[in-house]
Structure 1
Amino acid sequence: MKVYGYARVSTQEQAEEFDALNQQVARLKAAGATEVLIDIESGRNDERKQYNELLKLVQQNQVDEIIITRVDRLGRSVITIHKAIDVFVKHNVNLRILDAPVDPNSPFGWFSINQMSGLAEFESRLLSQRIRHGNNYFRQQLKYCVPPFGYAKDENQRLTPNNNIHPQSGKSYFELAKIIIDLTLSMRSLKDVCDYIYTEYEIVFSIAGLRDWVKNPALQGHTAYFFRKKKGVNREPIINFNTHEALITAATVEAIQRKLSENKKYRSSATSTRGDYPLAGLIKCAHCSGSMYRNFSRHKTKVEYIRCVNYNKPGKYHCENSKCTRLREIIAQTIATLCENAPHLIEHLETQSTTMQVVNTKDIDKFTNELSVLRGLRSSNPDIMEAIAKIEATINTLSTPTRIVDRDAFENAKRKIAIASQATFWESLDDSELRSALAEFVEKVEVDSSGIITPTFKLPLTLSSMRP
């Protein structure tokens, strides 16, 4: 019998500090869940990864029972909860709610779940309203959450110049912020500024962080909210002008923006180098395990090469791997290694294609019900005690997992590996097809500072990996 538990908390704080998640998981396992799926997200978000994975398993008829502690773990919306329960009922999955045992198939159970779902959504809406009122009051008081570099918060949580002394330079943080602005105007690039302030003052800024910092309206003396655009959020920024001492003027910001725009011509490519190319996202640095990005040479041939994303970062984030390895060389060596190791992949596949499953679930359910009836008699009759012992022994025998071989999946994966072992197959693919094909076989490709390329392969449609 496949019994899944589902646990959810809204925040990482609930999971770590209040131990709410561990409590749910412990109760679900004690109730008989063999596997527990966990989400740390709001119940109002229907895109929860493990929640949707649970629905997918139900639709594939891989679940017999689902256990939750409360109905609001499924969601904080009446519609979301009812959609989930409809899927459970349609696929004959039993839903067990530990804090409120109800049968969703019965009219009374449906009514009870409807009430609990409505209460869950009511609590969520009430909490959202309280948070909204609190945030509006926070903004009306011109309070600030995290002050930008050079500023601090006063006793009213408003922005004020940070006059604390920086230990390495003996200057205040506000004075250092002015120095960084001057350097941004005088130096050639933001990377040069980041390197200089780290070397001189041990102040760490990333290039993107420095770019965002100079654009922050707080530096012009304004307290602003929602000025950063977020994907899927269309909200007008709220700007309160001249609320504190300014670090820079609007003219200075415009001068910096013009300088950054002019610097684009020094880049090797005016367009983004991220995106659709073979092995995208799979090439890793062997030294820091960070990602490696694609770039183009400045020569007219525009040769593609790969470099560690952490090489240009300052201080403790810096990686020593300065090697620029040609992308086509990495692809060619990965394919050659895959063709060479295809026989070993097939051997590995044979050991991974079998699973252990309990196949007599219906008989187990039947004997379990009989056992419950006999135990409910609470009799000391020797015949009844002997019958209980025999049924328990039968259940234990039937519960022994049986080795199951998925022949279709095995043959399908074996056929894919056989095709991938032929060099002519790879030569016939364009870049888009090559990316899809490699993604099915390659888990990652590590490149070190000597240019040594080490691919790690995975079996098609499995999580099992093998390193040649």
Structure 2
Amino acid sequence: MIVELEKNRIIVGYARVSSREQAVDSQALEQQIARLKAAGATEIFQDIQSGSKNNRPALKELMTSISEGKIHEVIITRIDRIARSLPKLRECIEIFANRRVDLRVLDQEIDFTTSQGKLMVNLLGSLAEWETDLLSERVRHGKQYRRNKQVANESYPWGYKIVNDKYHLNESPFLCLISNRPSTYLELYYETDLTKLNALTVKEIARDCIDIFFNVKGATRALKVIFQKYGLAKINYRRNGSDGKFHWTVTGFIWWLSNPVLCGHTAYLQRINLGKGKRKKNQRENWELVYNTHSEHKLITDEEALEIQRILKFNHKKGPITNPELNETNSYREYAYQSGLVFCAECGSKCITKSAKRKHGGMYYYFACRYTGMGCENITSTRKQNIEDALIRTLVQRSQTITSELEPSPLPPEKSEKLKELESRLDALEKIPGFDPDMENLKNKIRKQITEEINPFISDSIVDKSTEEIIRVGNNLAIWHTLCPDDKVKVFQQIVHKITVHNGKVKEVILKI
């Protein structure tokens, strides 16, 4: 009878290593499994996770089977394979005792039924916990040492590599587009030197991804173009960079675009350690930022970084929309800037966009309260053109008010040295007799430069100007009406705080000045 009971005993083993590298490179997991099987285990539960994590899947499955009475004995190599925290270790041993399950530790002879054995378990558990704390402390000191030396982080964004503890742009050949392949590509098919195949480097692809984002003005749209251009499919892989895999989710792509490393800076403390192997992203304002650590290896300029954040902020502010705000030329549509700025004057909710067909062709575009008929009496929609007209009137009035408040100068403003030089060059060219197309192009170029010098509002650097400067020079209707949709998005989102509408009319335009 005793022999029969021994035959029916279910003996399992539990093996654990801390990381994938230990499991693959050092065969630590394989060695544990071999020892457990040699000791009599017929089934092995295995985890590749830190012992400080209490939600390991294989351990949870093992403890569930024990609670259900399916297991009679568990074999481990060391006591810290079960847990590295004393509370978790006590919890597991208590479950073993309650279900009368034997626990056999190959490297430590422990009798869990005696007081000496229980003392030994507590001592070993405390030592394992202490060792974990020491390891965490060493890691913290190591990271602090790296921060003090201002060296690159262990992980690095796509487009970079680490050379002598510094970020360097990765100029290694990565892939060759079909459109770029040489005519002799079949002869080079087995060639290991990718440069002969006109392969693009990691740096070139990374910069191209940034340019695509600027062209289409959106992360989701950019990824669609990137995946189509480079023939990439979605893969279930979490990392980009050292593993050579290339794929982004929308969130991951935005996180990459916003990484200070791309601007030549190094950011520390981007993630917070919550303990027990858990981490989360830290708030950007709490990062420890060191500027210009690798300025010769920038992917984007500081100005481009600001533009990226402006586009992301605008897209986030306007929220999801039915129709994309881009046309075939990859520029914003006419009233795209109004998204996220128009609110109901009665209930205060953000208005939604609508459209209707004209009788003689074309479309009308409106904003309407989302709660019309559900308690809000703001029934009539407001045309987007009427909103723009009211906005421009407000801007002109505000500009004229600011101008009138300034004390009039008895003398005209003195010309700048640059303006004098441009006028002198133009005057000299005008005195040259005859007609030359190249000469006329040069004259037109100088005339444009003179206009921009007189009226800085026309300059391409309008986004860099302050809100007050933009409004001050905008005392002319023509200035506002000549803006293209892209400039409207840049300018109006910068200077307008909110527009309220009620029953087809604009009630108030609130500026940021």
Equivalent of residue 288 in structure 2, options 206, 230, 238: 238
Q: Which one-letter code corresponds to 1:252 in the other structure?
A: E
Q: Secondary structure at the match of 1:108?
A: helix
Say if 2:142 is the partner of 1:134. yes
1:228 CA drift (Å) = 5.6
Question: Cα distance 1:94–1:217, how it changes in 2: closer, same or farther (>3 A)?
Answer: same
Query: If you compute each CA radius of gyration, which structure gives the higher value, 1 or 2?
Result: 2
1:232 CA drift (Å) = 5.6
Contact 1:194–1:205 (Cα < 8 Å) also in 2:
no
Say if 2:296 is the partner of 1:253. no
* Matched residue, 2:116: 108
1:205 CA drift (Å) = 5.1
Question: Deviation string for 1:189-219 (max 9, x for gaps)?
Answer: 4455445556667795535243222111112
Question: Cα distance 1:228–1:216, how it changes in 2: closer, same or farther (>3 A)?
Answer: farther
Q: Secondary structure at the match of 1:57?
A: helix
Question: Cα distance 1:9–1:151, how it changes in 2: closer, same or farther (>3 A)?
Answer: closer
Say if 2:94 is the partner of 1:86. yes
Question: Cα distance 1:68–1:165, how it changes in 2: closer, same or farther (>3 A)?
Answer: closer
Contact 1:190–1:207 (Cα < 8 Å) also in 2:
no
Q: Secondary structure at the match of 1:212?
A: helix
* Matched residue, 1:214: 257
Equivalent of residue 50 in structure 1, options 50, 58, 61: 58
* Matched residue, 1:66: 74
1:266 CA drift (Å) = 8.6
Give, in whole Å, the separation in 1 of the partners of 2:309 and 2:57: 40
Give, in whole Å, the separation in 2 of the partners of 1:180 and 1:2: 57
Q: Secondary structure at the match of 2:300?
A: coil
Taking structure 1 as the reference length, the TM-score comes to 0.51
Question: Deviation string for 1:95-117 (max 9, x for gaps)?
Answer: 11111222111012112222222
* Matched residue, 2:388: none
| Structure 1 unaligned residues grouped into runs of 5+ | 271-297, 301-468
Question: Cα distance 1:65–1:185, how it changes in 2: closer, same or farther (>3 A)?
Answer: same
Q: Out of 50-59 and 187-196, give the one that drifted further.
A: 187-196
Question: Cα distance 1:201–1:80, how it changes in 2: closer, same or farther (>3 A)?
Answer: closer
* Matched residue, 1:7: 15
* Matched residue, 2:326: none
* Matched residue, 1:186: 215
Equivalent of residue 154 in structure 2, options 145, 155, 178: 145
Residues 51-450 of structure 1 aligned to structure 2 (within 5 Å): 51-141=59-149, 142-154=151-163, 156-162=164-170, 168=176, 174=203, 177-190=206-219, 192-194=221-223, 196=225, 206=248, 208=250, 209-227=252-270, 233=280, 235=282, 236-245=286-295, 246-263=298-315, 267=320
Question: Cα distance 1:67–1:229, how it changes in 2: closer, same or farther (>3 A)?
Answer: closer
Question: Deviation string for 1:109-148 (max 9, x for gaps)?
Answer: 1122222222222222222222222222223222233433
Contact 2:270–2:281 (Cα < 8 Å) also in 1:
no
| Structure 2 unaligned residues grouped into runs of 5+ | 1-8, 181-197, 233-245, 324-352, 356-513
Give, in whole Å, the separation in 1 of the partners of 2:230 and 2:71: 59
Question: Cα distance 1:84–1:205, how it changes in 2: closer, same or farther (>3 A)?
Answer: closer
Q: Secondary structure at the match of 2:152?
A: coil
Question: Cα distance 1:175–1:33, how it changes in 2: closer, same or farther (>3 A)?
Answer: closer
Question: Deviation string for 1:136-167 (max 9, x for gaps)?
Answer: 2223222233433443433x221134456777
Question: Cα distance 1:15–1:96, how it changes in 2: closer, same or farther (>3 A)?
Answer: same
1:8 CA drift (Å) = 1.0
Q: Out of 145-154 and 210-219, give the one that drifted further.
A: 145-154
Give, in whole Å, the separation in 2 of the partners of 1:263 and 1:41: 39
Give, in whole Å, the separation in 2 of the partners of 1:54 and 1:26: 19
Question: Cα distance 1:185–1:229, how it changes in 2: closer, same or farther (>3 A)?
Answer: farther
Question: Deviation string for 1:444-467 (max 9, x for gaps)?
Answer: xxxxxxxxxxxxxxxxxxxxxxxx
1:75 CA drift (Å) = 0.8
Give, in whole Å, the separation in 1 of the partners of 2:134 and 2:212: 49
1:241 CA drift (Å) = 1.6
Contact 1:67–1:96 (Cα < 8 Å) also in 2:
yes
Q: Which one-letter code corresponds to 1:206 in the other structure?
A: W
Give, in whole Å, the separation in 2 of the partners of 1:35 and 1:129: 36
Contact 2:271–2:279 (Cα < 8 Å) also in 1:
no
Give, in whole Å, the separation in 2 of the partners of 1:201 and 1:62: 52
Give, in whole Å, the separation in 1 of the partners of 2:293 and 2:126: 44
Q: Which one-letter code corresponds to 1:253 in the other structure?
A: A
Aligned pair count? 272
Q: Secondary structure at the match of 1:7?
A: strand
Q: Secondary structure at the match of 2:46?
A: strand
1:172 CA drift (Å) = 6.6
Contact 2:73–2:101 (Cα < 8 Å) also in 1:
yes
* Matched residue, 1:341: none
Give, in whole Å, the separation in 2 of the partners of 1:261 and 1:233: 22
Give, in whole Å, the separation in 2 of the partners of 1:223 and 1:262: 26
Q: Out of 260-269 and 233-242, give the one that drifted further.
A: 260-269
Give, in whole Å, the separation in 1 of the partners of 2:21 and 2:311: 42
Question: Deviation string for 1:364-386 (max 9, x for gaps)?
Answer: xxxxxxxxxxxxxxxxxxxxxxx
Q: Secondary structure at the match of 1:102?
A: coil
Taking structure 2 as the reference length, the TM-score comes to 0.47
Question: Cα distance 1:244–1:82, how it changes in 2: closer, same or farther (>3 A)?
Answer: same
Question: Deviation string for 1:389-440 (max 9, x for gaps)?
Answer: xxxxxxxxxxxxxxxxxxxxxxxxxxxxxxxxxxxxxxxxxxxxxxxxxxxx
Question: Cα distance 1:243–1:188, how it changes in 2: closer, same or farther (>3 A)?
Answer: closer
* Matched residue, 1:319: none
Give, in whole Å, the separation in 2 of the partners of 1:28 and 1:86: 22
Contact 2:51–2:81 (Cα < 8 Å) also in 1:
yes
Contact 2:12–2:42 (Cα < 8 Å) also in 1:
yes
Contact 2:271–2:280 (Cα < 8 Å) also in 1:
no
Question: Cα distance 1:166–1:99, how it changes in 2: closer, same or farther (>3 A)?
Answer: closer
